[in-house]
Amino acid sequence: MVAQIDKTYFRYTGYRAARRLLSYALFEGRPVTTRGRTINTAVFLWLRALANIPGSPAVPTPIFIVGLGRSGTTLLGVLLSVHRQVAYLNEPKALWHVVDPRQDINGNYSACGGEFRLGDKDVTPVLAAKGRRLFARYLRMVGGTTVVDKYPEMIFRVDYLKRIFPHAKFIFITRNGRDAIASVATWSDSHRVVNANRKDDWWGRDDIKWRYICNQLILNHPAYKSVWPLVSGHVDPLNRAAIEWVVTMDEGVRQQRNHPESFVRVAYEDLVADPEFHLIRLLDFCGLDFDRNVIEYAKVRAHSGKVNALPNLNNAVAELFDGTMKSLGY
């Protein structure tokens, strides 16, 4: 399925499906776990040209879908992409690499220098201008009025994004931890790419994302002191996923508390159980007009995922995991 598009998607979007195909082909790039990476050279030439054309185009309020991947972020992004006003970017890491190479925590395009957390002080005038130019010119090219950018790790860069786009809004999607971490571990195994020199999977090029998580988010953070000895050695995929889920959910709760006017939380389980109610709520929050096609497509596309048993985790990880589950109401 190219660009998350299937036959049903065409039924609800018609010619506007071309908007999604252009987004996929020209703005998102191909990460290390996908085929077709030869296109990245052309994508980067194109994006750098767009970013460097002088001008200060205005950008209407962008919407960022954040949280942990494998928690319904893609589903929500695709549902919103049906909206007649929305231009949807699915993890446009090539675009953001042109804006700021420090964004690349997976090592898709850089072998070092990634930063999980970026704040308002990390934004320079040149960097901000590139971000605004790319978003504005993307909208003009594909014919949308509102960018919806699904990039889960942006949960760690909220103040950074608000410096670039002062009126940005954020949809923080959560999923029951037992199901989210099982999905992460399964995805990583099924999408792993192994060559003679390295292994690329959920945790990036040769584990670079995992090292960033440990060094930048876990070690020396007192809230996670109990797992410092563990992350200093080998950690299996399920415990890795649980640790990433904990720190991501903690960050989401903190950011929602700090920015209540620009944050809304939706639980994946609630979204698939009653998509009409929750999508109307989200459209209102985003300032988007009601669009019946979004609702009707959701009724076809949104289905409950597999319910997993509680994971068998390391004791220190399990304690953090259980505390975060309770704080989220699971």
Residue among 17, 38, 22, 141 nearest 83 (CA):
17
Any bridge partners for residue 170, and if so which? 64, 263
Q: State residue 36's pLDDT score.
A: 86
Residue ranges in the chain modelled with pLDDT below 50: none
Count of domains forming the chain: 1
Domain containing 262 equals 2-328
Q: Taking the alpha carbons of 90, 74, 119, 181 in that order, is the dihedral positive or negative?
A: negative
Collect all residues with Cβ–Cβ distance below 8 Å to 197 and sequence separation of at least 6. Answer: 206
How far apart CA 82 and CA 78 sit, in angstroms, is 7
Supply the CATH number for residue 274's domain: 3.40.50
Where helices occur in the chain by DSSP H, the ranges are: 7-13, 17-26, 40-52, 73-81, 93-99, 125-142, 158-164, 177-190, 208-212, 228-231, 237-258, 268-273, 275-286, 292-301, 315-328
154 contacts 248 by C-beta, under 8 angstroms = no
Stated length of the chain: 330
The per-residue pLDDT for 2 is 63
The pLDDT assigned to 5 comes to: 77
pLDDT of 184 reads 97
pTM over 0.85: yes
At residue 156, the 3 state secondary structure works out as helix
CB distance 270 to 278 below 8 Å: yes
